[in-house]
Structure 1
Amino acid sequence: MHHRTLGKTGFSISEISLGTWQVGGKWGESFSHQNADHILNAAVDAGINFIDTADVYGDGESEKAVGRLVRSRSGERIYVATKCGRRLQPHTAEAYQPAALRGFVEDSLRNMGLDTLDLVQLHCPPTEVYYRPEIFEVFDRLKEEGKIQHLGVSVEKVEEGLKAIEYPNVTTLQVIFNMFRQRPAELLFKEAQRRDVGIIVRVPLASGLLTGKFSAQTTFEKDDHRNFNRNGEAFDKGETFAGVDYNTGLAAVEELKKVFPGQPSLAPVALRWILMFPEVSCIIPGASKPEQLLSNLKTEEVPALTTEQLAAVREVYDRLIRPQVHQIW
C-alpha cells in the first residue's frame, strides 16, 4: 500500500482508503454490524489506515462500528474522519449554528467512544454557509478543547471548495472526482495544493457505474439512492452516478472498455486514473462486502496510465459526459 500526506494535517494515509456510507450492507439494506466489522477489519489488514464515516450513515451505526474498530486495534494508527451537519432538519443554511455543530461533534465522540476525532468535516452544507466565518471558528474552539484534531469540508461544488479553503483552519477538502466528474482538476486541485489542503476523493466509481458491471437491465432496491435519487429527489443528484444520466453513463462505460480492453472490472483502472493526479491525497471507495474491497485494492497493481489512455478518457468525457455535468458542480 502506498501512502500520501493528507495536506497540512501531516497524516501519512493510505492512498486507497475506505468510505463507509454502505459499509454495513448494500445501500438500501439495514445496517449490519457483523458485516461492518468484517469489512473494516479486512481493510486494516490490507493496509488501509484512513476511514471516512459520518454521523448520518446508518443513523450513527457506522460511527459506532468505526469506533469499535479503532478501540479493538489500539496498537495500530488508524485515522478517523467523520462529518457533521446533515442531521439538521431542515437542512438549511439558517440551521447551521455553532452550538448545533458543537453538539454533533460531541455526539460523534460518544458514538465512537473516542476522546478526540482526527478529522471532522462539514457535510456538504448549503453554499451560503461557506460565507459565514463563525461556522468555521467554532472548530478552532473544539480543537483547543482537544475534541478534534483538524477541520475539513465535504463539498458538492467547485465554488464551495474554493471558498472553504480560504479559511486557514480548513485542512482537507472532500470532493467528487472521477472519470465522469473532471472539473475539480482544472482549478480546485491547484488552489488546494497551493494552500497545502489535502484532497479526499469520494464517489470515485460514480456509484458503481465505473465498475463496468451495470447494464440497462440492472435494478436497484427501493431504498437504494441509485433508485430514488437519480434526479435529486432526496439530496444533490451529483451524489448519484456523479450526476450523469444512467443510460449516458452506460454508453460512456462501453467506450471506456474499448480504451482498457480485457479488464474483468473497470474499477481498478478508474481508481488508478484518479491517483494519476498528485494533488489527490486518497480515494475513499465504499464496499458493502469484502470482495468489493479487494477489487478496489487491485488498483495498487495497475500500472500508470499512458498519455494515450489519459487522452482517450478525456475524449470520452468531453464527448458524452461534459455537457451534462461540467458546469453544474
Structure 2
Amino acid sequence: MRYRELGDVGEVTEVGLGTWNIGGDWGDVSDEAGREAVRAALDAGVDFLDTADVYGDGRSERHIGHVLDERDAHDEVTVATKAGRRLDPHTAAGYTAENLERFVDRSHENIGEGTLDLLQLHCPPTDVYYEPDVFDALADLRARGKVDHYGVSVERVEEGLKAIEYPGVETVQLIFNPFRQRPAELFFEEAARRDVGVIVRVPLASGLLTGTIDRDTEFPENDHRNFNRDGEAFDVGETFAGVPLDAGVDAVEALEPHVPEELTLPQFTLRWILDFDAVSTVIPGSTSPAHIESNVAAADLDSLPHRLHGAVRDVYEEYVAEHVHDRW
C-alpha cells in the first residue's frame, strides 16, 4: 500500500474505505457484514475510513468504532466523519456553532473517540461557504480539542474553490471519476497550490464503473440507486455520479475494450483516479472483502499510459460530459 499526504492531517493510504453503504441507503446490510467490511479494509492495509453521522443515523460510525475497539486500533487509523445533514430542514441557517458542536459530540460517542480526527461539513447548501462564522465555529472546535482537523465535502467544484479560501480548511471531498472529470480542470491545481488534501468519493459511480450494472438491473426499494434516480431524496450527483443510467451503461460498454486484460474495470478506474497527483486518497465502498482487497490493490499498480487516459477522455466527451460537466 502506498501513502499520500492529506493536507495537514498527515499521511494516509492512497485507497481508503467509504462506509456509506454499511450505514444505509444501499439495500439491507447486516451489522456483521458492515463490521466485516471494516475489518477487511484494515486487513488489506487501509488506514483511512470515511463515514458520516447520517449514514444509518450513526450506524456506520458505530460499526467503525466497534471494530477499532476490538482491535485497539483507534490510534492507527484516521477516521473522517461528516456533519450537517442531520438538520431538518437542511438550510444554511442551521449551520450554527451550537448545532455543529452537538453533532460532533454525538459522533464522539458513536466512534468512541474524544477528539475527531477529521470533521467535514456534509455537502451543505452553497450559502454556507459564504458564511465566515461557520468556519470560525469549526476553528473553535479545533482550538478546544473536539476535532483535530476540519474540511468540507462538496457537491460542486465552485463550492470547493470557495471553501479553500478559508485557511483552516485542510481537506475537500468531492466526486471524481472517469464520468465526473471537471475537478481536474482547475480545482486540483488550486488544491495542490494551497496544500489542501483531496478525498475522492463515488469513484465507481455507484457501481456503474464495476461493469456489473445494465439497463435492466433492479435495486431494492431502500437503495438510493432506486429511489434517488432523479434526485428525489438528495443531490442526484450522488447516484451514478449524476449520469442517466442508459448513458452510463453506454459509456461503460465503450470504455471496457480499453481496460487491460490484467485489470478489472474497478481497478482500472481507481488507478486512473490515482494518476492525478492532487488526489490524496480515494474511498470506494463495498461489503465484499474480496472486492475491498481488489480495490486496495489498485494503489500498487503502475500508472496508466497516456493513450488510455486519452481513451477515457474520449468516452467521457462522447457519452457523459453533456449530462454532468457544467452541472457539478
Same fold by TM-score greater than 0.5: yes
2:33 — aligned with what? Answer: 35
1:7 — aligned with what? Answer: 7
1:108 — aligned with what? Answer: 107
Q: Is residue 244–residue 325 contact of structure 1 (8 Å, CA) maintained in 2?
A: yes
2:67 is aligned, of 66, 69, 86, to 69
1:211 — aligned with what? Answer: 210
Q: The residue matched to 1:280 in structure 2 has which SS?
A: coil
1:129-164 deviation line (CA, Å, top 9, x unaligned): 000011111111111211100011000001100000
Q: Is residue 25–residue 224 contact of structure 2 (8 Å, CA) maintained in 1?
A: no
Change (3 A) 1:2 1:250: same
Whole-Å separation in 1 of the counterparts to 2:64 and 2:114: 14
Q: Is residue 204–residue 269 contact of structure 2 (8 Å, CA) maintained in 1?
A: yes
Whole-Å separation in 2 of the counterparts to 1:85 and 1:192: 23
Matched, 1:233 2:232: yes
- Greater displacement, 150-159 / 34-43: 34-43
Q: Which amino acid aligns with 2:276?
A: F
Q: Which amino acid aligns with 2:257?
A: K
Change (3 A) 1:262 1:235: same
Q: Is residue 23–residue 55 contact of structure 2 (8 Å, CA) maintained in 1?
A: no
Whole-Å separation in 2 of the counterparts to 1:50 and 1:74: 15
1:50 is aligned, of 23, 48, 61, to 48
Matched, 1:82 2:81: yes
Q: Which amino acid aligns with 2:242?
A: G
Once the two structures are TM-superposed, the CA of residue 298 in structure 1 deviates from its matched residue by 3.0
1:240-265 deviation line (CA, Å, top 9, x unaligned): 00000100000000110111154673
Task: Quote the sequence identity (%).
Answer: 53
Whole-Å separation in 1 of the counterparts to 2:247 and 2:280: 29
Whole-Å separation in 1 of the counterparts to 2:24 and 2:113: 24
2:124 — aligned with what? Answer: 125
In structure 1, stretches of 5+ residues that fail to align are none
**Equivalent residue pairs, number:** 327
Q: The residue matched to 1:4 in structure 2 has which SS?
A: strand
Q: The residue matched to 1:255 in structure 2 has which SS?
A: helix
Q: Which amino acid aligns with 2:94?
A: A
- Greater displacement, 159-168 / 37-46: 37-46
Q: The residue matched to 2:172 in structure 1 has which SS?
A: strand
Once the two structures are TM-superposed, the CA of residue 24 in structure 1 deviates from its matched residue by 5.1
- Equivalence map 1:91-170=2 (5 Å): 91-170=90-169
Whole-Å separation in 2 of the counterparts to 1:316 and 1:146: 47
1:223-282 deviation line (CA, Å, top 9, x unaligned): 110011111110000000000010000000011011115467310000000000000000
Whole-Å separation in 2 of the counterparts to 1:196 and 1:90: 34
Compute the TM-score of the two structures, normalised by the length of structure 2. 0.96
Matched, 1:224 2:223: yes
Change (3 A) 1:246 1:277: same
Q: Is residue 49–residue 79 contact of structure 2 (8 Å, CA) maintained in 1?
A: yes
Q: The residue matched to 2:170 in structure 1 has which SS?
A: strand
Compute the TM-score of the two structures, normalised by the length of structure 1. 0.96
Matched, 1:289 2:288: yes
1:20-50 deviation line (CA, Å, top 9, x unaligned): 0012578121x52211221111111110000
1:19 — aligned with what? Answer: 18
Whole-Å separation in 2 of the counterparts to 1:64 and 1:303: 36
1:153-196 deviation line (CA, Å, top 9, x unaligned): 00000110000000011000000000000000110111111111
Q: Which amino acid aligns with 2:265?
A: L
Whole-Å separation in 2 of the counterparts to 1:24 and 1:95: 24
Q: The residue matched to 1:214 in structure 2 has which SS?
A: coil
C-alpha RMSD of matched pairs (Å): 1.4
Q: Is residue 15–residue 283 contact of structure 2 (8 Å, CA) maintained in 1?
A: yes
Whole-Å separation in 2 of the counterparts to 1:106 and 1:24: 19
